[in-house]
Amino acid sequence: MKIQNQIINKLKKKIKVADEIARSKSVDIIESEIVQLEYVFSILAFGSFIGIPSPPMQITLDLLPVSEDSIQLLINRINASNEPLSELASVFRID
Protein backbone atom coordinates (compact mmCIF):
# COMPACT_ATOMS: atom_id res chain seq x y z
CA MET A 1 0.00 0.00 0.00
CA LYS A 2 2.74 2.43 0.95
CA ILE A 3 4.65 1.84 -2.30
CA GLN A 4 1.48 2.31 -4.34
CA ASN A 5 0.79 5.66 -2.65
CA GLN A 6 4.34 6.81 -3.36
CA ILE A 7 4.01 5.84 -7.03
CA ILE A 8 0.65 7.60 -7.29
CA ASN A 9 2.06 10.75 -5.66
CA LYS A 10 5.05 10.77 -8.04
CA LEU A 11 2.72 10.34 -11.04
CA LYS A 12 0.53 13.19 -9.82
CA LYS A 13 3.56 15.47 -9.51
CA LYS A 14 4.77 14.59 -13.02
CA ILE A 15 1.31 15.16 -14.47
CA LYS A 16 1.10 18.51 -12.70
CA VAL A 17 4.46 19.59 -14.17
CA ALA A 18 3.41 18.45 -17.65
CA ASP A 19 0.17 20.39 -17.30
CA GLU A 20 2.01 23.58 -16.31
CA ILE A 21 4.35 23.24 -19.30
CA ALA A 22 1.43 22.72 -21.68
CA ARG A 23 -0.39 25.75 -20.29
CA SER A 24 2.71 27.90 -20.63
CA LYS A 25 3.23 26.89 -24.25
CA SER A 26 -0.43 27.47 -25.09
CA VAL A 27 -0.24 31.00 -23.66
CA ASP A 28 2.84 31.71 -25.80
CA ILE A 29 1.06 30.45 -28.91
CA ILE A 30 -2.04 32.53 -28.17
CA GLU A 31 0.12 35.62 -27.68
CA SER A 32 1.77 35.04 -31.06
CA GLU A 33 -1.66 34.63 -32.67
CA ILE A 34 -2.74 37.97 -31.18
CA VAL A 35 0.30 39.61 -32.76
CA GLN A 36 -0.59 38.02 -36.09
CA LEU A 37 -4.18 39.29 -35.87
CA GLU A 38 -2.95 42.80 -35.04
CA TYR A 39 -0.67 42.59 -38.07
CA VAL A 40 -3.57 41.58 -40.33
CA PHE A 41 -5.65 44.47 -38.98
CA SER A 42 -2.78 46.86 -39.62
CA ILE A 43 -2.42 45.65 -43.19
CA LEU A 44 -6.16 46.01 -43.79
CA ALA A 45 -6.38 49.47 -42.24
CA PHE A 46 -3.09 50.96 -43.45
CA GLY A 47 -2.37 48.95 -46.58
CA SER A 48 -2.31 52.07 -48.73
CA PHE A 49 0.97 53.07 -47.08
CA ILE A 50 2.64 49.97 -48.52
CA GLY A 51 0.70 49.77 -51.79
CA ILE A 52 -2.11 47.35 -50.91
CA PRO A 53 -5.70 48.44 -51.54
CA SER A 54 -7.35 49.47 -48.30
CA PRO A 55 -10.42 51.26 -46.94
CA PRO A 56 -11.10 54.85 -48.01
CA MET A 57 -8.46 57.30 -46.85
CA GLN A 58 -10.91 59.14 -44.55
CA ILE A 59 -11.43 55.96 -42.48
CA THR A 60 -7.68 55.37 -42.35
CA LEU A 61 -7.07 58.94 -41.20
CA ASP A 62 -9.80 58.62 -38.54
CA LEU A 63 -8.11 55.47 -37.20
CA LEU A 64 -4.63 57.00 -37.28
CA PRO A 65 -4.62 58.67 -33.81
CA VAL A 66 -5.63 55.46 -32.00
CA SER A 67 -3.45 53.14 -34.09
CA GLU A 68 0.06 54.05 -33.03
CA ASP A 69 0.69 50.48 -31.84
CA SER A 70 -0.51 49.06 -35.15
CA ILE A 71 1.84 51.29 -37.12
CA GLN A 72 4.72 50.37 -34.82
CA LEU A 73 3.85 46.71 -35.40
CA LEU A 74 4.03 47.25 -39.18
CA ILE A 75 7.44 48.88 -38.82
CA ASN A 76 8.67 45.98 -36.67
CA ARG A 77 7.32 43.51 -39.22
CA ILE A 78 9.21 45.23 -41.99
CA ASN A 79 12.39 44.93 -39.94
CA ALA A 80 11.69 41.24 -39.19
CA SER A 81 10.61 40.36 -42.73
CA ASN A 82 14.17 39.46 -43.67
CA GLU A 83 14.26 36.69 -41.05
CA PRO A 84 10.80 35.04 -40.89
CA LEU A 85 12.21 31.68 -39.79
CA SER A 86 13.88 33.20 -36.76
CA GLU A 87 10.56 34.72 -35.67
CA LEU A 88 8.84 31.36 -36.08
CA ALA A 89 11.60 29.64 -34.14
CA SER A 90 11.23 32.14 -31.30
CA VAL A 91 7.49 31.39 -31.06
CA PHE A 92 8.00 27.64 -30.82
CA ARG A 93 11.23 27.89 -28.81
CA ILE A 94 13.32 25.82 -31.18
CA ASP A 95 16.84 25.48 -29.85
Digit-coded pLDDT (tens) for 4-23: 888 888 999 999 998 888 88
| Sign of the C-alpha dihedral computed for residues 90, 41, 38 and 74 taken in this order | positive
DSSP-based three-state secondary structure for 3: helix
Question: Which one, of 63, 72, 81, lies nearest residue 38 by Cα?
Answer: 72
Q: Convert the pLDDT of each residue in 13-57 to its tens digit.
A: 999 998 888 888 888 888 888 888 887 777 777 777 777 777 777
Q: How many CA atoms lie within 13 A of 93 on its CB side?
A: 7
